[in-house]
């Protein structure tokens, strides 16, 4: 049984001026104990919304419809606030892009960690100041920050240190799953690599399962076991990360791979494909990537491709249908 399992999850935003914006569409994914999975796709394709849905952090105007999310075999959608607090202990944590936003500007690091520990402790087990100090020191050590940082306020820390503090806060409740949403995007390249290394080491040592969300394929492929590619709110491909570097893939994955390793990846608009991401307020007729896809056939504009088993994972593409290509001829270099 997977640790985290999402089936047919749909999320829309209620927009005042228009219809609903369907940011996540029919997403099914599962995460095994200790697995490290990446989620990639251009900005606006629904990655963060999915991260919020999985961690039960969606707030209006976002609405989850249909589908089911289970953690350790138990349904976690629609939990009462009390149950939700219990679920956060040993459950799922979320680390956001900007450490600063997750941190309380008027609390020092030790107090912030204390706040989290107190808020989620059972009534009979309220931690003492000494226990908080000890645990906070331990957590800082895990994220490779010196103990002096305990007394610092967020504005006194660099971007990298803030992001490490945000990770320490997420670790405080010993989650079994952590969703990292663009954890290094706001950092410069060297700091980014160091923080990613810490995340990877923590994941290996603490054995939590992780979902690493990024617009940058090179961030995800370097760290993860499996990579999920999203386009227009849907999963279009899901494969072992090691297989992404070669062979045939979804045409959108192949386009992302052409930007691989380019430090401008966040600004690249997939220059070799004309057009822009789909309007998420419209129902999709056919494949939402078809208007930008050089390989699109007629069927791609009329019928929605469903995820089906492909190579070692899953794929949603008519032009890569089983039987048209087989693994033997798929090893052309991108
Ligand atoms: N609060 C909101 N209200 C309305 N639309 C939103 C809101 N947040 C996100 N969206 C829309 O949902 C879609 C997916 O956004 P998001 O999940 O942030 O994508 P990503 O993380 O991949 O950049 C985008 O079209 C975005 O404009
Ligand atoms: Mg995002």
Q: What is the layout of strands, in order, in the sheet containing 313-315?
A: 92-95, 177-181, 209-214, 36-40, 226-231, 234-240, 313-315, 308-310
Is residue 77 within 8 A of residue 68, CB to CB? The reply is yes
Q: Cβ atoms within 10 A of the Cβ of 143, count?
A: 22
In a domain, 126, yes or no: no
DSSP state of 151: G
Nearest to 170 by CA among 113, 213, 220, 224: 113
- pLDDT tens-digit map of 297-317: 999 999 999 999 999 999 999
In a domain, 128, yes or no: no
To test the pocket of ligand 1, the residue of 27, 49, 276 to mutate (highest count of ligand atoms within 8 Å of its CB) is 49
For ligand 1, atom 7, which residue shows the shortest CA distance? 13
Ligand 1 mean position to 151 CA, how many Å? 36
Instruction: Determine the structural domain holding residue 79 and report its residue range.
Output: 1-91+173-334
In a domain, 310, yes or no: yes
Question: DSSP readout, 14-81?
Answer: --SSSS-EEEEEEEEEEE-TT-EEEEE--TTSSHHHHHHHHTT---TTEEEES-EEEETTEE-TT--H
Q: pLDDT tens for the chain, 334 residues: list them.
A: 999 999 999 999 998 776 899 999 999 999 999 999 999 998 899 999 999 999 999 999 999 998 899 999 999 988 888 888 888 888 999 998 766 577 999 999 999 999 999 998 877 889 999 999 999 999 999 999 999 999 999 999 999 999 999 999 999 999 999 999 999 988 998 999 999 999 999 999 999 999 999 998 989 998 899 999 999 999 999 999 999 988 999 999 998 888 766 555 555 555 556 678 899 998 888 999 999 998 999 999 999 999 999 999 999 999 986 555 444 333 333 3
In a domain, 98, yes or no: no
| Closest ligand to Cα 15 | 1
Ligand 1 mean position to 19 CA, how many Å? 14
Structure tokens belonging to residue 195: 């923080």
**Closest ligand 1 atom to Cα of 51:** 17
**Number of domains the chain is built from:** 1
pLDDT at position 122 is: 79
To test the pocket of ligand 1, the residue of 9, 12, 13 to mutate (highest count of ligand atoms within 8 Å of its CB) is 13
For ligand 1, atom 27, which residue shows the shortest CA distance? 44
In a domain, 105, yes or no: no
**Closest ligand 1 atom to Cα of 215:** 22
To test the pocket of ligand 1, the residue of 23, 212, 234 to mutate (highest count of ligand atoms within 8 Å of its CB) is 23
**Closest ligand 1 atom to Cα of 49:** 17
In a domain, 99, yes or no: no
For ligand 1, atom 14, which residue shows the shortest CA distance? 46
Place of tokens 């494969």: 239
Helix axes 159-171, 129-142, angle to 10 degrees: 120
CA distance 300 to 288: 9
pLDDT at position 324 is: 53
Domain with residue 6: its CATH number is 3.40.50.300
Query: Partners of 248 in the beta sheet?
Result: none
In a domain, 269, yes or no: yes
To test the pocket of ligand 1, the residue of 10, 15, 43, 46 to mutate (highest count of ligand atoms within 8 Å of its CB) is 46
Ligand 2 mean position to 7 CA, how many Å? 21
Place of tokens 């919020």: 52
CA distance 303 to 311: 22
Q: Which residues line ligand 1 (CB under 6 A)?
A: 13, 15, 21, 23, 41, 43-49, 61, 280
**Closest ligand 1 atom to Cα of 182:** 21
């Amino acid at each position: 049984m997977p640790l985290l399992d999402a089936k047919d999850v749909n999320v829309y935003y209620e927009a005042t001026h228009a219809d609903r914006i369907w940011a996540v569409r029919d997403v099914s994914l599962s995460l095994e104990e200790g697995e490290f999975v990446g989620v990639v796709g251009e900005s606006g394709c629904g990655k963060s919304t999915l991260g919020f849905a999985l961690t039960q952090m969606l707030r209006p105007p976002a609405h989850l419809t249909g589908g089911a999310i289970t953690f350790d075999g138990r349904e976690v959608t629609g939990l009462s606030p009390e149950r939700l607090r219990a679920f956060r202990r040993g459950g799922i944590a979320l680390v956001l892009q900007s450490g600063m936003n997750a941190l309380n500007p008027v609390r020092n690091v030790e107090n912030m960690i204390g706040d989290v520990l107190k808020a989620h402790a059972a009534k009979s087990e309220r931690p003492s100041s000494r226990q908080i100090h000890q645990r906070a020191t331990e957590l800082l050590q895990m994220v490779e920050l010196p103990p002096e940082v305990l007394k610092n306020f967020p504005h006194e820390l660099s971007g990298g240190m803030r992001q490490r503090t945000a990770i320490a806060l997420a670790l405080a409740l010993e989650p079994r799953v952590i969703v990292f949403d663009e954890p290094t995007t706001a950092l410069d390249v060297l700091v980014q690599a160091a923080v990613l290394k810490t995340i990877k080491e923590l994941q290996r040592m603490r054995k939590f399962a992780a979902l690493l969300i990024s617009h940058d394929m090179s961030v995800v492929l370097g760290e993860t076991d499996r990579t999920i590619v999203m386009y227009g709110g849907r999963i279009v491909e899901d494969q072992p990360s090691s297989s992404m570097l070669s062979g045939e893939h979804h045409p959108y994955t192949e386009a992302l791979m052409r930007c691989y390793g380019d430090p401008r990846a966040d600004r690249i608009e997939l220059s070799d494909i004309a057009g822009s991401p789909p309007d998420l307020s419209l129902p999709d007729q056919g494949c939402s990537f078809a208007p930008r896809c050089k390989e699109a056939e007629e069927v791609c504009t009329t019928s929605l491709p469903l995820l089906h088993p492909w190579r070692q994972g899953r794929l949603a593409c008519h032009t890569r249908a089983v039987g048209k290509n087989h693994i033997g001829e798929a090893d052309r270099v991108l």
